[in-house]
Structure 1
Amino acid sequence: MKTKLTEIAPPMEAASATSEKAIDATVSNLKEGVAKATAGFETTQAKVKEGMEKAMKTAEEMVTFGQGNVEAVVKSGQIWTAGMQDLSKHVAATAQNSLAETVSTFKAFTAVKSLKDVFELQAAFARSAFEKTMSESGKLTDASMKLTEQALAPITARVTLAVETFGKAA
């Protein structure tokens, strides 16, 4: 059995054409796959870049916010320190005035001529000292409350800003 070339050629041509179609389909599928992979990679890269930009912006905002917090604490400390100096000066002046009044009263004791005058002088001194103590303690309490409010104002403002800023982000 001898086969002729003419008998083999048509099936080979058909096989060759089928192989070419398969190769073309494979190449086409590979090109499509590479195109899809490239598009997917570009999309992923864009999303990663966008995410990094958002993260950097958030980090910058947090650093700026933190700096504002530090500035508020420093300002609060400055207000507190200045206020405490003023209160200390006031207390020292009050104590000095009280001492001067006490010395004056004791000098007056040396000049009294009767026991009745001593009791009257002592009662007047005690009444005056009590009234001044009550008055000064009220002033000191008011000044302390005012100082506390002033010193806390920068920190309170930062807390308010934090609630406004981060409350709407949630």
Structure 2
Amino acid sequence: MFGFILTGLMIPFFVVMIPQYVLWNALHLTDTFVPLIAPAWFGGGVFNIFLLRQFFLSIPAELDEAAKVDGAGHFRIYLQIILPIGKQAMIVVGLLTFLANWNDYLGPLAFITSESNYTLMQGLTLFQGSYSAQWHLMMAATSVIVIPSLIVFLVAQRHFIEGITMTGIKGEQGKINVGKRTCP
């Protein structure tokens, strides 16, 4: 099943853009934000599934076994062990999804037609005319559009770095560290 899902990484958006448009048009949801929001809420893409799966496979099985010995059920193991360890990876996935969707131009171009529903990236094209462009206004708008991405990245940078380098073994300070293999 995972191998089948991975084939989605090899298919570019250009290939599935027309079938997606036909689907959203049949549901009468083109020129709305639903085609842009719904896919991000239901999986967010193959890369996110791949990233989370690889992260959860790196968590040692000894943590689950120790919790089972202590009498924890599957739901409690997930809630008290797996979820706190996976918090960093989920923050990384959320950050990457936000940045990808914030900077997306082709997706909104395919699904949104009226200027009143344009995303910020599409709105930048309004500064270009047939024969000239208002470069000073376009650069000012681009600077303003970059600010939220920069703020989100700076706030989440610690989680981003920890999510990339984290394993499932606790270190001396109670944080999960890569190089320390001590008992909790």
- Give the TM-score range, shorter chain: 0.3 to 0.5
Larger relative contact order (CA 8 Å, sep ≥ 6) = 1
Question: Highest Rg: 1 or 2?
Answer: 1
